[in-house]
Chain A
Amino acid sequence: MERTQAIRCFVGSAMLFLAALSVALVVANISCLQLTHPRDPISGLSMSLTFWILAAIMIAGVSSCIKIQQPRLQLILVLWLSGNLIAYRFGLLWMGVHGVTGYLTPIAHTFGLSGGIVSGLLSSVILYLFTGSVGLLIWSVVAGPKDLPLKASCQKCGGHVAFSPRNLGFKIPCPHCQTTLTLRGADEILKMSCFFCQGHVQFPAHALGTKMPCPHCRKDITLIEPK
């Protein structure tokens, strides 16, 4: 599996877990409105309020992951979320809390599971998110940016297109204007002849479609795809 694909799968599963967890917290809170919850020993807030806050943070995290689209940033966000939850758990330990089962009662009751199972599931998910994000971040740093998506511009409409390096050289219809375009790396050097003096012109692929004076005859020419 390629690194990009692995990151995409992991971030997808992280979003699934985070969304599931945030919905579970919201549903548990709504289902257990009649119950009195213990206070969070760290913040002193009711666990009910803590659940609302956690759910909001997780929903914000999921939305951010979807918006960001930069794989490394997504991993950092997942790492930040899971890291905070792990830090919170250590904080509870520091406060003398022997187990979190007592604070997860609303979830256990809402979903008909025992406190131990809920606690175990939650710990597994947090551990997965933490180790997964750390592992993939290390992988992406060690392996370098070669697998990161490349960008190209349509020479007709100027629309930007991102694509996987393995698709380099393929011809596709531009998703914006349907003109056929070749997927090239941004630093690829292209060659063409001047329309007026037939002099050779070299330019980077990202300059396709731009107007510039011919270095030979000084007349304005548009940089186009070589035939």
Chain B
Amino acid sequence: MMPIGNVVGRKRSRGAWFLAIAGALLVLGWKLGVMVPMYFAGGRQAVQLASILEFKQDLVLNRSNTSLVFCQDTAEGVGIYFYKVADGKSQLLCEQKEKGRRGRWFTMLGWSPNESLFACAVPDDEHDGEQIFLFNGQTGTLESQLGVDIGLEQFDWLANDAFAYATATSVRTVAHESAQKWAHRRYIPNIATNLTGFVAVSADTVAWQDNSGVFMLDLKTSKPQKVWEATTNQLVQFTYVRGTDEFLLNCRDTTGQQLMRLRPGGGRVISLGPINTQGDFVRNAYWNGRGSAYVFLTNTHEGSALCIKTPDRVAPVIVPWLGGANRPTLSGGQVFFHGYRDGDVPGIWSYDLQSENFKCVFSCDKSLKKGLVRSSKTGVFTNSLGEQRSYHLTEPVNYSTGKKYPVLLAQELNIWFSPFQIASREGFIVAVVDRPYSHTWDGDVPHTWAEDVTKLYEVVARHPNADTNQIYLYGCSRDTSGLCQLMAEQPVLAKGLVLFSPTALPNPEALRDKSILIVTGQVAEDNDRLTAFQDRAAQSGNAVTLLLQADSGHIPAAGRTERRRALQFQRFLSAQD
């Protein structure tokens, strides 16, 4: 027997099903009809931009500048490439996968004295050690491999068939035994407390900097000898110039920075004069013979510049570079660096000291250049500490003068960074103050993130199209401590925060109605700290988007993890009002 009301009920239930399905389809339609096209418009571009792989570490050139070894991100991690300048072809020598990586990336050893070999070390996380790879210096084929049971920090060639490597406290030597076999020879432990700048002076002698002193070690005797100590000044950088058999000492005192020369055999320290003509703190200069030539990066009103001292000039010259640059290397009559021109993809560039011309040696995929946004304005301001800073302002794509745009404020080294391009494409005015190249994280120079960004905000607030009610702050790694300082001082300044790999987090209870994006590697971070922050921030009424990348370290390196971060960043920006 049919139940009561069954017939009418069936008709009604059809209508009810129809409505329920309509509701479901409405949501799915929104997702597929609006969000998917949005993904193809913004997300695909973000993924493309993040596919531009960044360069890392120093460039290593042979003496004739015909072969180059560089380090660049790969799809899965970081790779070391062998590049023949004449052929224009690069060859992947070895790759370190990002997944499961715990510590550092590669350590470069460079070419042997006769350039027959090239070596590098890769951390072996499974065995808490390293693998040293020796490649043919001409062809790039793997010649030999050697396991090391400690994490090495630096190394240098003693001769064509021997090299030494060092940890923070010890030195070990390796020599060629037969055909493809290399073996450990000597181990000299506990000779330093904080060994840096490790160099081979001869086949039997090595030298290093340990805090304020310069030490030498005769490998036969195993007894280190202090050859010089900074007493009235501070030793910033220590270099050995093999060609002239001299130590170059970059020292700082109250008057500035001086370059000094010292022979390993002892004797008087000879001052080569001041190096610091730009007011920069010069820490990572690349020196050449007798200190007569050197190069370091500096910041100018237009952006970056190479500060180059050549033997035929009394004072260094400033060579402007309209874009970002990093890791300059002086080799022969040329300066090599990796960087990008404004509106172009990054690559490896050379600057010829003779002809004074820049030349692109190696470039990322040029087809990606089409979608890049150029800086619309560069300028300089003085922060509250009285220090000058250069900044770049990029207006959004499809910029219209009658409209207000949200603003992303950041302080970053002037190097290639795809998230700023993504923000411009998402309709943000991107204002970035250049972190001085001389600022490192070892405490030599106090950081000024909060002061710089506060001043940058004042500059941007005068922009007629900047919506000061929609200010977003970006901070990466240790920059986040400056960002937290600023949020503590001015909690209402920003509507949102973008924190990549944060080392510091703002007080969540002091935040209200903020949109916060946190992206970090799950391997290296204290996840409980981040999830606890997310819980507390959500309770305070803040929307925290937290992406923990399971197979990434502190900062993503592989193209895959970089793309995932970029996509999340794009989605975060597109969801803002």
Contacts and interface: CB of A to CB of B under 8 A. Distances in A.
A11 to B, nearest CB: 7
B23 A162 contact: no
B265 to A, nearest CB: 60
Interface in A90-135: 95-99, 101-105, 108-117
B419 to A, nearest CB: 17
B409 interface: no
B577 interface: yes
Contact of A116 (B2, B546, B577): B577
Interface in A74-101: 95-99, 101
Residue in B15, B513, B541 whose Cβ sees the most chain A Cβ within 10 Å: B541
Nearest to A70: B5
Contacts of A8: 12
Interface string B533-555: 01101111111111110000000
A38 B535 CA distance: 5
Contact of B545 (A12, A21, A109, A163): A109
Residue in A66, A99, A105, A113 whose Cβ sees the most chain B Cβ within 10 Å: A105
Interface string A14-51: 01111111111001000100111111010000000000
A39 B539 CA distance: 10
B543 A102 contact: yes
B510 to A, nearest CB: 12
Given A109-B572, A111-B30, A66 B16 contact: yes
Contacts of A23: 23-24, 27-28
Interface in B15-55: 15-17, 19-24, 26-28, 30-31, 34-35, 38
Given A103-B538, A110-B35, A149-B5, A16 B19 contact: yes
A13 interface: yes
Nearest to A71: B12
Contact of A19 (B6, B24, B542): B24
Contact of B575 (A35, A109, A163): A109
B3 interface: yes
A69 interface: yes
A6 to B, nearest CB: 14
Contacts of B548: 36
A161 B543 contact: no
Contacts of A95: 539
Contact of A115 (B2, B20, B515): B515
B144 interface: no
B576 interface: yes
Contact of A69 (B5, B534, B541): B5
Contacts of A101: 513, 541-543
Given A36-B531, A62-B20, A162 B4 contact: yes
Contacts of B86: none
B571 interface: yes
Nearest to B515: A115
A213 B259 CA distance: 127
A184 to B, nearest CB: 15
A112 B574 contact: yes
A211 interface: no
B447 interface: no
A163 B572 CA distance: 53
B371 to A, nearest CB: 21
Contacts of B537: 38, 102
A69 B9 contact: yes
B543 A108 contact: yes
Contact of B16 (A65, A115, A159): A65
Nearest to B512: A98
A171 to B, nearest CB: 15
Interface string B484-500: 00000000000000000
Nearest to A113: B575
Nearest to B577: A114
Contacts of B576: 114
B541 A66 contact: no
Contact of A96 (B21, B539, B574): B539
Given A19-B20, A35-B545, A160 B534 contact: no
Nearest to A151: B4
B539 A98 contact: yes
A42 to B, nearest CB: 11
A160 B1 CA distance: 8
Contacts of A103: 538
Given A19-B21, A23-B27, 15 more contacts: A12-B15, A27-B31, A36-B548, A38-B544, A41-B539, A69-B12, A97-B538, A97-B541, A110-B31, A111-B30, A112-B38, A116-B577, A161-B7, A161-B8, A162-B4
Interface of A: 8, 11-13, 15-24, 27, 31, 34-39, 41, 62, 65-67, 69, 95-99, 101-105, 108-117, 149, 151, 158-163, 175-176
11 contacts: A16-B23, A36-B530, A36-B547, A96-B539, A101-B541, A102-B543, A103-B538, A111-B30, A149-B5, A160-B4, A161-B5
